[in-house]
Structure 1
Amino acid sequence: MLNIFIAEDEPLIRDALRELIEQHSTDYQIAYSGEAADGEIALSMIQELKPDLLLADIRMPFMDGLTLSRYAKGLLPWLHVIIISGFSDFAYTQEAIDIGVDGYLTKPVQADALLAQIQKVQAKIAEQNAAQTQPTQQEEIFNHEYYKEHFFTRLAAGQYTPADLLARQEKTDFCFTAKAFVPLYLHYRDPLTDEPLYRRRVNRIWELFGRDTTVLTVLYNAGDLAGLISGDTAASAKEKADHVANILRTESGLTSGPFHICVGQPTQRLSDLNTAFTLVRHTALVTPIDSAVQVLNIQAAQTAPALSLADAEAIRQQLSDALSDPEKSPTVPKIYAVLDYLLQLLAGQADDVSRKTVREYDHTKLLVIAQTPSLSLATIGMFLQLIHPTDAATQRPAADQTNPLVNQVVAYLQKNFNDPDISLRSIADMVAISPAYLSTLFSQMMNITFIEYVTQLRLAKAQTMLRTTEEKITDITFDIGYTDPNYFSFLFKKHFGVTPKEYRKGELKPN
């Protein structure tokens, strides 16, 4: 069914067009969507009603038909337009072509001529839909979707310079030369696990925004939707972003289940896109979903309620219980609120360790941690220990001593300690946390530093090989992960009081 909106300031013509649509609704699969007597009111109604076709008089008060068409197509990229004019010289034909209108009729409008134009629009829509369902077109759509997901992941990680973004205009099909940008993020309470639903959502998003170079959207992070909107001014970018959010909100195929959409504030620098996007995503993820408030402005995001150390202890206990029963894990917003609260307490302490910790953790890192219960448990424990060292040490649950993340690292080191390229940074990258955080966490859980632990594993293996094999000391050096025999001998003597050669001869064995 083709929904048609009429923008015409002459009541008699407007009535005639409405009656024509209603009279032929069944035969032509068309429906009357709404009408307005001037372009300004029409634009507001079009945003709400989202018709498929606009019939617009070229001469109207407040906003003419061509201006209305330009703005309406900017807001609804799929919108088709037929211009109706009282002029027979087609003076505005070129401008209409530039806007991308589908037809141009002169008054008085003949029924057959209008119906023929409507059929052309329907044929064009059918052709576009058929092309989209072709295997090659589908492959292109999903390949582009995968590329955009990779793009947003790198954007969130701060891996693009302004030059990098400009170089990706063509591949993203997005205008990075605009004057202003607004990020948005649609967050679902429930992750998307249905592959057919994922494909339907991708196709619908492509139908809505695929031809609009001012809108860049992608299904991201287990089915959430990330987006960037561009505009010639900060106000136009924000207006377009609000409209995109409204379209997403009312699209039933995109909004099954509880959700909310967070719309950011305009930024005019490409170098600020990472921070702007991260802030919007962070706000969307840590703000509890309220079915009554589906579109959020980040400046209006709710402030976390007042917390206490007792709340932190309660969350830590829930996280400890969740290690054996994941259903007991507190929500991400609750975890994040406690982490942020504890970090604020640390910011008020004067010791060097607390200040260093505050510098190490920003809201982005806290958000990542809050989404992993084991990491959250260890981090809350570490923060509490820094705030009240004695109390935290005596109250720390036994689960802290068997942190799953540390267990993972220890298991890996025990199998791969002889890798000469192993380092604190390489292991931190493997488990997706910072080297400084891994170092602190490992030391707390193991009562030994990361480097000391690797060294112990290597030297213990060297002891066994010296006792049970005839391998050259040089070969043993390489077998246990070192590249310099002299350095290996230095470490061995430092730990055991004898050189490897003396140890093999049994001249002086360590206790």
Structure 2
Amino acid sequence: MYRILIADDENIVIESLKFIIKAKLGDNCEIECAKTGRSVIEAAENFRPDIAFMDIHMPGINGIDAMKEIRKNNNSIIFIVMTAFDKFDYARETIKIGVLEYLSKPANREDIEAVLSKAMGIIDKRREIRTRDLTIKEKLETIIPFMENGLIYTILLGEDNESISKYREILGISEEFGYIMVVEAKQEFASNMTNVVGSSVRLEDHYELIKESVKDEINAVVGPVMTNKIIILAPFDKNAMPYEYRTKLVERVRTLIHNLENDINIELKVGIGNVKNFEKLNESYHEAISALSIGNGSVLHALDVKIGCEYEDDYPIDTERNIFDAVEKGDADRASNEALHFWNWMVNYHGDCLSDIQIKVIDFVLRAEQMVYNKTNSTYRFTSRTNYLEAVTGAGDLGTLKHWYLEKITEAARKVSKVQDDIQKTPVEKALNYINENFGQDISLDEMSQMLGISSYYFSKLFKNETGTNFIEYLTNLRISKAKDLLDENRLSVKEIGITVGYPDPNYFSRIFKKNVGQTPSEYKGAE
């Protein structure tokens, strides 16, 4: 349906246009008419036309001024100017108004229908774009909760920063920092036992109201109900929360919780963690949980309750944290440097406390290796650390102990790094690494596919797409290339070289070599 406004002070022009438009569009249009500048402005406000046929010279307000006024409130209207005067006299004035076309009176039917079709095409395109945008928005409204939940789970699991960055990009989170709030429903009691399930169900029943109420008050990502808790991420633009902001936040959240409790009849409690960068938001979560368990009151900020361990003034806690942050990220060089800084502190300030240094060394090494187990999914063996105590207590001097300590910390980071590299590699990259290291073994396409956990057909396609050659050709070319290198060295016999590069049958080795090089291995070796 198209809404069309005709503005002209001549009845014959109005009726002619109405007849042509109705003949072309039939019931697919609504038409309104006006004969003065003022009446056309008023009609445009009430009727909201898609298209307006405008005369320039009308009683009262002229057509140009009328179009300017209409454009203020209707940015999408399409103007078609009809006038008996030379269009060049006013084209300069109307160019900013966005006139689609100028028709000279009397305009013939074909010209009117052509410009009408052009205007309708523009309107149809706009509507198509609008429909598509609404569809996309509708789909996003469905997807966004899953993305928000995914971000919350990723933070709680302490997963890699790349995953967090992808969620932030999708959700449009530009802030570099944030803090976690945990909303907890008071646990119900049944038969003297805590009923977490009952609290969880009641939270689920009112989840949408809680979610919308939180988002109305705070710019936040609201996660799902987890047991009797809801995890909330609030992005923040600074690396720390000023005291004044914190006190106001606590009051705002307290008011929010009070109003919610009245609406849903559930007693709620909120813990708020400290501001962290996104990589360490799981620490903010644990601080919020600790605040809930330690403090009294409906809203508790981690800085308002005493949480965690305190350290002596000169203890290098930042260096300690940096060590394990580097291990967790697989940064061996940084882990080694930070571990060395901590060692120097121990020796400089507590060099006479050998047993304390030994205990701290064991503590750090075991913690670093635990990270390896958690990050690499490797198998823990009870006897894997049999010689650790002897290595630490039996070290003849601090230099030997230092070497063992730095080696173990660096080794842990390298193991994490290797797994991260393997995770990031494509199946073909993993295959190429394996082939390059094991080309002398019996390698088949089926066995390689099984190792990678994908079908041989799919692996074959991937391999060809990424390398430009098929699996057998690549393996053969690599083996022949290695064989030529060994023949050039002239240290091994032809038979030994064949076995080394994966061809234990000397006759087959000779045939495949000649097919690719044009000479037998013996001929190639003799030519050298």
TM-score (norm 2): 0.36
TM-score (norm 1): 0.37
